[in-house]
Structure 1
Amino acid sequence: MEIVGLPTPVFCGVDWAEDHHDIALVDAGGKQLAKLRITDDAAGFAQLTGLLAEHGDTETAPIPVAIETSRGLLVARLRATGRQVFAINPLAVARYRDRHSVARKKSDAVDAAALANILRVDMAAHRPLPADSELAQAVAVLARAQQDAVWDRGQAHNKLRSQLREFYPSVLAAFADKRDRLCSREARTVLAAAPTPTAAAKLTRRQLQSLLRQAGRLRGIEAETDRLHEVFQREYLHQLPQVEAALGQQASALLRQLDTACRNADHLEEAAAEAFEQHPDAPIIRSFPGLGSLTGARVLAEIGDDRTRFANAGSLKAYAGSAPVTRASGKSCVVMSRRVKNQRLAAVGYVWAFVSLTRSPGARAHYDRRKEAGDRHVAAQRNLFNRFMGMLFHCLQAGATYDETKAFPNQRSTELSNEAA
Structure 2
Amino acid sequence: MTAVACGIDWAQDHHDVALVDTNGVVVSSARISNNAAGLSQVLAMLAEHDPEGGKLPVAIETSQGLLVAGLRSADRQVFAINPLAVSRYRDRYRSSRGKSDAFDAMVLANILRTDVEAHRPLPQDSELLKSLRVLTRAQQDAAWDQVTITNRIRTVLRMFFPAALEAFERGGRHRLDSPTARIVLAAASTPAAAAALTVDDLASMLRTAGRQRGITAEADKLHSLLGSEQMRQPAAVEDAMGLQLQGLVRQLDAVCQTLEQLEHRIDDVFTAHSDAKIMTSVPGLGVQLGARLLAEIGDDRSRFADARALRAFAGAAPVTRASGKSSFVHARRAKNDRIAATGYVWALAAVRHDPHWNARYRARRQAGDRHVAALRRLFHLMLGKLHHCLQHGTIYDPTRAFTNLAGNPA
Global fold match (TM > 0.5): yes
Deviation at residue 245 of structure 1 after TM alignment:
2.2
Contact kept, 8 Å, 1:19 with 1:40, in 2: the verdict is yes
1:118 and 2:91 correspond? no
SS of 1:38's partner is strand
- Aligned residue for 2:84? 91
Deviation at residue 57 of structure 1 after TM alignment:
5.0
- Aligned residue for 2:26? 32
- Aligned residue for 2:253? 259
- Aligned residue for 1:183? 177
SS of 1:409's partner is coil
Deviation at residue 106 of structure 1 after TM alignment:
1.5
1:223 and 2:192 correspond? no
Amino acid at match of 2:167: A
Q: Work out which of the residue numbers 185, 190, 198 in structure 2 matches 1:196.
A: 190
In the alignment, the residues of structure 2 paired with residue 388 and residue 70 of structure 1 have an alpha-carbon distance, to the nearest angstrom, of 27
Contact kept, 8 Å, 2:3 with 2:19, in 1: the verdict is no
Q: Work out which of the residue numbers 115, 132, 149 in structure 2 matches 1:156.
A: 149
Amino acid at match of 1:88: I
1:269 and 2:263 correspond? yes
Task: Please give the per-residue CA displacement for 1:241-269, whole angstroms capped at 9, x wherever unaligned.
Answer: 23222222221111111111111122122
Deviation at residue 180 of structure 1 after TM alignment:
6.3
| Seq. identity, % | 56
Contact kept, 8 Å, 2:18 with 2:105, in 1: the verdict is yes
Amino acid at match of 2:107: A
1:239 and 2:233 correspond? yes
In the alignment, the residues of structure 1 paired with residue 52 and residue 187 of structure 2 have an alpha-carbon distance, to the nearest angstrom, of 65
Amino acid at match of 1:262: C
In the alignment, the residues of structure 2 paired with residue 360 and residue 129 of structure 1 have an alpha-carbon distance, to the nearest angstrom, of 35
- Aligned residue for 1:417? none
- Aligned residue for 1:143? 136
RMSD: 1.8
Aligned pair in 2 of structure 1 residues 180, 377: CA closer, same or farther (>3 Å)?
farther
Deviation at residue 413 of structure 1 after TM alignment:
9.6
SS of 2:159's partner is coil
SS of 1:99's partner is helix
1:130 and 2:127 correspond? no
Q: Work out which of the residue numbers 51, 56, 80 in structure 1 matches 2:73.
A: 80
Amino acid at match of 2:81: I
Deviation at residue 311 of structure 1 after TM alignment:
0.6
When structure 1 is superposed on structure 2, of 29-38 and 140-149 the one drifting more is 29-38
SS of 2:5's partner is strand
What is the TM-score when the length of structure 1 is the normalising length? 0.93
Amino acid at match of 1:403: D
In the alignment, the residues of structure 2 paired with residue 162 and residue 123 of structure 1 have an alpha-carbon distance, to the nearest angstrom, of 51
Stretches of structure 1 that go unaligned for 5 or more consecutive residues are 1-6, 415-421
Amino acid at match of 2:94: S
Matched length: 407
Aligned pair in 2 of structure 1 residues 140, 368: CA closer, same or farther (>3 Å)?
same
In the alignment, the residues of structure 1 paired with residue 180 and residue 27 of structure 2 have an alpha-carbon distance, to the nearest angstrom, of 66
In the alignment, the residues of structure 2 paired with residue 339 and residue 102 of structure 1 have an alpha-carbon distance, to the nearest angstrom, of 28
- Aligned residue for 1:249? 243
Task: Please give the per-residue CA displacement for 1:283-323, whole angstroms capped at 9, x wherever unaligned.
Answer: 10111111111111110111100000001010001111111
Task: Please give the per-residue CA displacement for 1:40-61, whole angstroms capped at 9, x wherever unaligned.
Answer: 11111111111111112555x4
In the alignment, the residues of structure 1 paired with residue 404 and residue 361 of structure 2 have an alpha-carbon distance, to the nearest angstrom, of 13
In the alignment, the residues of structure 1 paired with residue 174 and residue 257 of structure 2 have an alpha-carbon distance, to the nearest angstrom, of 14
SS of 1:195's partner is coil
Contact kept, 8 Å, 2:20 with 2:106, in 1: the verdict is yes
Q: Work out which of the residue numbers 50, 53, 58 in structure 1 matches 2:47.
A: 53
Q: Work out which of the residue numbers 299, 303, 311 in structure 1 matches 2:297.
A: 303
SS of 1:127's partner is coil
- Aligned residue for 1:356? 350
Task: Please give the per-residue CA displacement for 1:178-235, whole angstroms capped at 9, x wherever unaligned.
Answer: 6762100011111122111122222222221111111101122122122212212322
Amino acid at match of 1:105: G
In the alignment, the residues of structure 2 paired with residue 99 and residue 179 of structure 1 have an alpha-carbon distance, to the nearest angstrom, of 62
Contact kept, 8 Å, 1:153 with 1:265, in 2: the verdict is no
SS of 1:356's partner is helix
Q: Work out which of the residue numbers 375, 381, 401 in structure 2 matches 1:381.
A: 375
Deviation at residue 410 of structure 1 after TM alignment:
4.0
Deviation at residue 13 of structure 1 after TM alignment:
0.6
In the alignment, the residues of structure 2 paired with residue 235 and residue 97 of structure 1 have an alpha-carbon distance, to the nearest angstrom, of 66
What is the TM-score when the length of structure 2 is the normalising length? 0.95
Q: Work out which of the residue numbers 105, 116, 120 in structure 1 matches 2:98.
A: 105
Contact kept, 8 Å, 1:156 with 1:261, in 2: the verdict is no
- Aligned residue for 2:314? 320
Aligned pair in 2 of structure 1 residues 138, 180: CA closer, same or farther (>3 Å)?
farther
1:404 and 2:398 correspond? yes
Contact kept, 8 Å, 2:3 with 2:27, in 1: the verdict is no
Q: Please list, as runs of the form range in 1=range in 2, the aligned pairs for 1:389-400 lying within 5 A after superposition.
A: 389-400=383-394
When structure 1 is superposed on structure 2, of 143-152 and 96-105 the one drifting more is 96-105
Q: Work out which of the residue numbers 55, 60, 64 in structure 2 matches 1:67.
A: 60
In the alignment, the residues of structure 1 paired with residue 211 and residue 17 of structure 2 have an alpha-carbon distance, to the nearest angstrom, of 60
SS of 1:30's partner is coil
Amino acid at match of 1:27: D
In the alignment, the residues of structure 1 paired with residue 142 and residue 23 of structure 2 have an alpha-carbon distance, to the nearest angstrom, of 48
Amino acid at match of 2:10: W
